Structure 1
Amino acid sequence: MTKAVYNILPNEPIDGEERLLKALHHTDYHNGKINSLAFFPSEEHNFKLSVDRAKLSTPKETYDRYVKGGEQSSGVCGVHASDFVNEEIQCSTDPSDDNVAHSLADFSPHGVSQRRKKARRLAAIAVNYGLDYSNIAADD
């Protein structure tokens, strides 16, 4: 992406048609399948899942930021904000100094059982869309 200046305010809702990118920890992708852990936010993160707005970040940029932070990754997948909204999960902007594209999908209003079910459905949707970026060799 070209370097541009964006004035992104925090906590702004994200349009349903916008694609949201999710960096996949190496344990989130196995045998060509995205598992539900990729979309299951932790209590440590207040049950909010970090995603990047595709209009502000490429899949490769999202991947690079993730591994630069010390994580191992298999790649990046994406779903639309409307896929989260269909699961009653609101998505909003959460820009930081080093990532203007950073946003949050808020699972916190839902109990653990519902979060698991929603994560499974979102992972299935992501599998259907396919990976946006992969660092895995074709024979893996």
Structure 2
Amino acid sequence: MELSKEIQEFLLNDAVERFLRYVKVWTSSDENVESIPSTKCQFDLGKLLVEEIKALNLEDIIHDEYGFVYAYLPPSEGFEKKTPIGLLAHLDTYYGVSGKDVKPIIHRNYDGSVIKFAQDKGLKLHFDDSPA
């Protein structure tokens, strides 16, 4: 089944909006702490995910004391015997850079050229500068 252009655009925009909400949540970890999670702010993203999961009507939602979020999406009718999958992601960000007050920028129709930042003339982003 092929999705119409309108549905594809709706789904893309929804995914982008969700992603932008997630990356704005301060979730920096702390390398000097032994507990999981290493910072309390990591629970904030988990709480946001729980609310969104509830809105999607998933079942058996758990947000545990370690910050992990679990939920169950029942199979569609006719797919009950198919192998289930799990989706996993870290809710924290690297302690070496601040995750506070992130202002994400989406580069639609990126052409592969160097990305420059108006806020920091010395900062640039290009795939040649990134390790493989």
Structure with bigger RCO (C-alpha 8 Å, 6+ apart): 1
TM over 0.5: no
TM-score by length of 2: 0.24
TM-score, structure 1 normalization: 0.23
- The structure richer in strand per residue is 1
Q: Which protein has the larger Cα radius of gyration, Structure 1 or Structure 2?
A: 2
